[in-house]
Structure 1
Amino acid sequence: MAFINLLAVVLVYIGLGLLFYALFLLGYRATLHPLSKYPGPLVARLTDIYSLYYAASKRLHLAIWQNHLDFAQDIYNNERLSKSRAYLVAMQAPGVHSIFDVIDRQLHRKKRKVIGQALTQRAMRDFEPIIIEQTTVFLKKIYDVSRVTPYCPINMTPACRYLGADIVSLLAFGQALNTQTSSENRFLVEGLGAGSFFQNMRIQYPKLARLRLSSLLDLFTNIRNKRAKAKELIEKLITTHIAEGVDAKHDLYSIVAGQIDTKGNGNIRHSEFWTESLFFLPAGGDTTSTCLATLFFYLSRNPVCYKKLSEEIRSTFTSGSEIRDGPQLRSCEYLRACIDEALRIASPVPSVLWREAVLTATEKGDIVVDGHVIPRGTQVGVSLYSLHHNPDYFPDPFTYKPERWFADASETQSSTMREAFNPFSLGSRACAGKAMAYMEISVLIGRTLWYFDFKAAQGAEGQLGAGKEGDKTGRGRTSEFQIYDVFSSMHDGPNLLFSSRKETIGEILEGGCRIVPHEWPSQATR
């Protein structure tokens, strides 16, 4: 009995000690910490659980927008700041980095140089037939649905996501997933989205990994099976390609195989190509699918923009086959403005891209952001969604206005706006696939408007993707396309009705290729 009483007393003292320590720590962070003078929510000053909560609710970008201070240029164009240690939670195998999670600046330069070879102008020309082929499948699919069931709306989110997945699988592995025409491999798209959601919560609250709480996260979010199934398919794609040989197909694997480890000492999942593939697949598809869905949403709700863009496309080209990468397509200035405005208003990566000071022994001086000295080890970052909705840079920021990108605004305002526009990030860590993304989006939108007219569906179906009036979580703007922050963007909608243009549709029907309409789902899964 005495022992039990002694144990109870010890536990009480331990509990009191932990309580006093927690109160001291919270008090220090709220009043004496070097960053305590910065404005912002009190809870965010006290604990990273603030970020975890909003990452779990997929609206971290909205929370940051409401509390935003802009430091983008000082952070992302600063070579003395490197990727945060938080990204290390995304490592797939010990000591094996991808271009996404690598922190060391030298190793990142090496990886970017290797991966960049697949994204050069020459590589883009080589890959363009694949992009056009998959775009044609997309357009024929639209035609079949609109012809057989003309009043059945098409949900553009799954349509664009499947298009992106099919293109990137061919570019990465030389193998078709055929998600546009078959449901067999569509689980990969959902699995990669679940993986992004999972990793984003761990990046925003790294203690989940350090305290080994990730399995609980898997349990409560029910995403473990989705991620595991997606990884199995990716492993199958890699092993199949390795067995075929490096030169069997022209793709990312054939370009980088001689410069990175592709076998991982017999374990594919310990190879560099495995880690790069897990990043390349969602990165290559998410940017384009988000921008495309956003474009379809705003064009269908802005008749003046729709008319101006369709007239530009239809007066610039004489046939759909002419709509391909080159000077003619790049001369479509209003198309580029529409794309840039979509990238601004619905950032493909709305989350915070964390950075921290990682100085070498020979580097001296303070890290300064917006005139403030940042202590070593402090995580700093900006939400691109928040930056792109700052009215100081983008007046009337929640209005889709492609005209803002033309030089009729004051020179100072235009320069500031363009400096703030960073959908692909800034500096040495900026997305290497920017040119490829613009090409894919331009070709797809150009050809869609050449062959079709479209409009928003009627009634409740036509509201899919829009905000809801009265919503108190930041989603109350009914004219805004809603994105969900999972590091990349998730979304649903819009629902559109298409009608083919009789004078042009015959071009795309050459060669047949009938596709069963019902294989495209009418709703996306968030």
Structure 2
Amino acid sequence: MINDLTHSKSTRSRAAMDLSFSLVPAVIIGVGLGVAYCTLLVAYRLLFHPLRQYPGPLIAKISGFYGAFYAFRTTLHLRTWQDHVRYGPIVRQGPNKLVFNSVQALHDIYQNDRITKSRAYLISQRAPGVYGLFNAVDRFLHQKKRRLVGKPLSDRSMRAFEPTMIGQIDIFLQQLVACCQRKDCDAIPVNMTQLSKHLTMDIMGYLAFGYPLDLQTEATNRAVLQSKASFLFNIGMQLPFLGALRVHMLGSLRSLIRGKRYLRTLERVIIERLAEGQHVKHDLLFMSDQPRVSENDQVWLEDVRSEAIWFLIAGSDTTSATLSALFFYLAKNPHCYKRLAREIRSTFHNDGEIHSGPKLATCAYLRACIDETLRMSPALPGTLWREKAAGAGDEPLVIDGCVIPEGTQLGVNTYALLHSEEYFPEPFSFKPERWLEGSGMSKTSRDAFAPFSLGARSCLGKSMAYLEVSLVMAKTLLCLDFSEAVGIPCGHDTSLTERELGKDTERVNEFQIYDAFAAVHCGPFLNFRPAQADAE
């Protein structure tokens, strides 16, 4: 019996060896075919591709992983700017991608009915055939969703919502005043990124759901600030094939992108709101893919949650980035700070006067400071990718005088354009004066200013963002002074290079933002004190 077992094992061993040897040629052939395919693909993309004549990094011409790598490092906006400096106004940033850096291209791309959102946006699609405002590639579907989402952002709705917004800003101000009253106020500076994120998300909670998230005063719901959706989405955007493969069908990736704690918190908020009855469903219809109110709460939960993820990011992250950057630039530029404080304190005599209307509209320097902040540190610093729309006809697509081949992804990088010396001299200097009447800024330069994008897909919340930032800054400067805390780190990723962080370069005095589709940032850290007459 032992001999039989030994013989059996020997037979199996020989069979396994024979199988291994028989697989070797197949593996070699497979590897050879793979190498040959990759070699031919590289040769085609470098020598025969329709975009071969456009300059750009060698790796970018070969693979979309060039953009994905820098998106992972959250420095793609800086790399794009550097590529424009090196290669010129048109850069091939992927095998089928062209990024432009001119006013003409900006308007040719984003104000063109023949161009639509890139199919790469479909990576955020939650199910086949179900679209939100953010990933609606079809122009007519997008117009329909935009009309729905635009209702709570209309001028009429904003006038009704403004008292709620001011109430949340007053809580923000109370926290700053409380910091002034602490004995250790200079020892424990205020992180403006943290406070501004709490403020803007609280405001969006009321706008989207009529729900008190209370992030400024409680920690219960702060998981809504922890979504990684925009960061991972930005990486996926650099690899358009992911959208074509409908990666949304991979449930584990969806959970990773959105974050489980974030989803649970958002789900709880929506469920509590739906429990209030049918009138709430009608209020939330703008965030549903359904044309009418559904009796199925689970359908509503999924619809509203999916749209709310991007709605909250668009309204919160972008405004908090602008607020944080504006506080930074004012603290770094005392002459700008004093001029703005003088304007605010001579225009308003008490806090109750600060609201939308003629007085706030006369604060020209305040608007100039906001515009210069948006130019230097745009809340969406990357490239909003577009492509020729299906059914756009056979007529060649011409962008800035260039005939664009079919299947090409197009875009203008916001950060790079707003830091172009051609349109904005001394682009890394904070100069609000350039936006004032009589400054001599050319029409071309003003046309290059599009931090909220342009055309049919421009940001719906532009007016709300300007109002929110204006109210926060006016209310703060009326009663408080602030200064930069010395020696406080701003949470920079130490794995990034000195050049990427702006140290020892022209970017040293720029508020550092990181490109995760919506800008990621930290700080500034400021010390606050009651307003003094000498600040005027």
TM class by shorter-chain length?
0.7 to 0.9
Question: Match of 1:452?
Answer: 480
The one of 152, 156, 159 aligned to 1:125: 159
Q: Is the 8 A contact 1:483 1:491 kept in 2?
A: yes
Question: Match of 1:381?
Answer: 411
Question: Match of 1:322?
Answer: 353
Q: Cα distance 1:257–1:478, how it changes in 2: closer, same or farther (>3 A)?
A: closer
The one of 451, 454, 474 aligned to 1:426: 454
Q: How far apart in 2 are the matches of 1:176 and 1:115?
A: 20
Question: Match of 1:102?
Answer: 136
Code of the aligned partner of 1:480: E
Question: Match of 2:261?
Answer: 229
Q: Cα distance 1:52–1:418, how it changes in 2: closer, same or farther (>3 A)?
A: same
Q: How far apart in 2 are the matches of 1:52 and 1:20?
A: 25
The one of 9, 18, 26 aligned to 2:34: 18
SS at match of 1:381: strand
Q: How far apart in 2 are the matches of 1:91 and 1:16?
A: 37
Q: Cα distance 1:492–1:214, how it changes in 2: closer, same or farther (>3 A)?
A: farther
User: Aligned residue pairs: how many?
Assistant: 494
Q: Is the 8 A contact 1:81 1:355 kept in 2?
A: yes
The one of 354, 357, 364 aligned to 2:385: 354
Q: Cα distance 1:468–1:484, how it changes in 2: closer, same or farther (>3 A)?
A: same
Q: How far apart in 2 are the matches of 1:415 and 1:466?
A: 38
Q: How far apart in 2 are the matches of 1:201 and 1:162?
A: 26
Q: How far apart in 2 are the matches of 1:262 and 1:140?
A: 40
Cα deviations by residue, 1:221-251 (Å, 9 ceiling, x for unpaired) = x9939711111111222222122124369x9
For the pair shown, the structure with the greater C-alpha radius of gyration is 2
Q: How far apart in 1 are the matches of 2:34 and 2:495?
A: 44
Normalising by structure 2, we get a TM-score of: 0.86
Q: Cα distance 1:492–1:261, how it changes in 2: closer, same or farther (>3 A)?
A: farther
- The structural deviation recorded for 1:2 is 5.2
Q: Is the 8 A contact 1:96 1:270 kept in 2?
A: no
Q: Cα distance 1:246–1:345, how it changes in 2: closer, same or farther (>3 A)?
A: farther
Q: How far apart in 1 are the matches of 2:291 and 2:250?
A: 34
Q: Cα distance 1:213–1:282, how it changes in 2: closer, same or farther (>3 A)?
A: closer
Q: Cα distance 1:209–1:104, how it changes in 2: closer, same or farther (>3 A)?
A: closer
Question: Match of 2:11?
Answer: none
Question: Match of 2:336?
Answer: 305
Quick check: 442-451 or 178-187, which moved more?
Answer: 178-187
Code of the aligned partner of 2:136: V
SS at match of 2:226: helix
Q: How far apart in 2 are the matches of 1:480 and 1:321?
A: 34
- The structural deviation recorded for 1:381 is 1.1
List, as ranges, runs of 4+ consecutive aligned residues in structure 1 with deviation greater than 6 Å: 209-219, 254-259, 462-470
The one of 437, 441, 459 aligned to 1:407: 437
Q: Is the 8 A contact 2:372 2:430 kept in 1?
A: yes
Q: Cα distance 1:469–1:205, how it changes in 2: closer, same or farther (>3 A)?
A: closer
Q: Cα distance 1:283–1:252, how it changes in 2: closer, same or farther (>3 A)?
A: farther
Code of the aligned partner of 2:521: H
Q: Cα distance 1:401–1:44, how it changes in 2: closer, same or farther (>3 A)?
A: same
Code of the aligned partner of 1:25: L
Q: Is the 8 A contact 2:171 2:216 kept in 1?
A: yes
Code of the aligned partner of 1:243: A
SS at match of 1:162: helix
Task: Check if 1:159 corresponds to 2:200.
Answer: no
Question: Match of 1:287?
Answer: 318
Q: Is the 8 A contact 1:298 1:400 kept in 2?
A: yes
Question: Match of 2:97?
Answer: none
Question: Match of 1:34?
Answer: 50
Question: Match of 1:472?
Answer: 499
Q: How far apart in 1 are the matches of 2:250 and 2:296?
A: 31
SS at match of 2:61: helix
- The structural deviation recorded for 1:438 is 0.6
Residues 97-246 of structure 1 mapped to structure 2, 5 A cutoff? 97-148=131-182, 149-151=184-186, 152-191=188-227, 194-207=228-241, 224=256, 227-246=259-278
Code of the aligned partner of 2:311: F
Q: How far apart in 1 are the matches of 2:301 and 2:384?
A: 26
Q: Cα distance 1:83–1:225, how it changes in 2: closer, same or farther (>3 A)?
A: closer
Identical counterparts, % of pairs: 41
Q: How far apart in 2 are the matches of 1:270 and 1:248?
A: 12
SS at match of 1:453: strand
Q: How far apart in 2 are the matches of 1:351 and 1:444?
A: 26
Q: Is the 8 A contact 1:468 1:475 kept in 2?
A: no
Quick check: 226-235 or 279-288, which moved more?
Answer: 226-235
Code of the aligned partner of 2:219: S
SS at match of 2:131: coil
Q: Cα distance 1:54–1:252, how it changes in 2: closer, same or farther (>3 A)?
A: farther
Q: How far apart in 2 are the matches of 1:91 and 1:355?
A: 17
Question: Match of 2:401?
Answer: 371
Q: Is the 8 A contact 2:118 2:386 kept in 1?
A: yes
The one of 102, 111, 132 aligned to 1:77: 111
Q: How far apart in 2 are the matches of 1:465 and 1:438?
A: 28
RMSD between aligned residues:
2.8
- The structural deviation recorded for 1:18 is 1.0
Cα deviations by residue, 1:464-483 (Å, 9 ceiling, x for unpaired) = 77999981335323211100
Q: Cα distance 1:269–1:398, how it changes in 2: closer, same or farther (>3 A)?
A: farther
- The structural deviation recorded for 1:372 is 1.2
Q: Cα distance 1:336–1:25, how it changes in 2: closer, same or farther (>3 A)?
A: same
Code of the aligned partner of 1:173: F
- The structural deviation recorded for 1:269 is 6.9
Code of the aligned partner of 1:329: L
Q: How far apart in 1 are the matches of 2:80 and 2:313?
A: 24
Question: Match of 1:515?
Answer: none
The one of 524, 527, 532 aligned to 1:494: 524
Q: How far apart in 2 are the matches of 1:480 and 1:448?
A: 22
Q: Cα distance 1:469–1:409, how it changes in 2: closer, same or farther (>3 A)?
A: farther
Q: How far apart in 2 are the matches of 1:342 and 1:3?
A: 67
Q: Is the 8 A contact 1:246 1:253 kept in 2?
A: no
Cα deviations by residue, 1:26-72 (Å, 9 ceiling, x for unpaired) = 11101210111111111111000001100100000000011122132
**Which blocks of at least 5 consecutive residues in structure 1 are unaligned?**
504-526
Quick check: 414-423 or 65-74, which moved more?
Answer: 65-74
Q: Cα distance 1:226–1:365, how it changes in 2: closer, same or farther (>3 A)?
A: closer
- The structural deviation recorded for 1:218 is 8.2
**Which blocks of at least 5 consecutive residues in structure 2 are unaligned?**
1-16, 90-100
SS at match of 2:483: strand
- The structural deviation recorded for 1:175 is 0.7
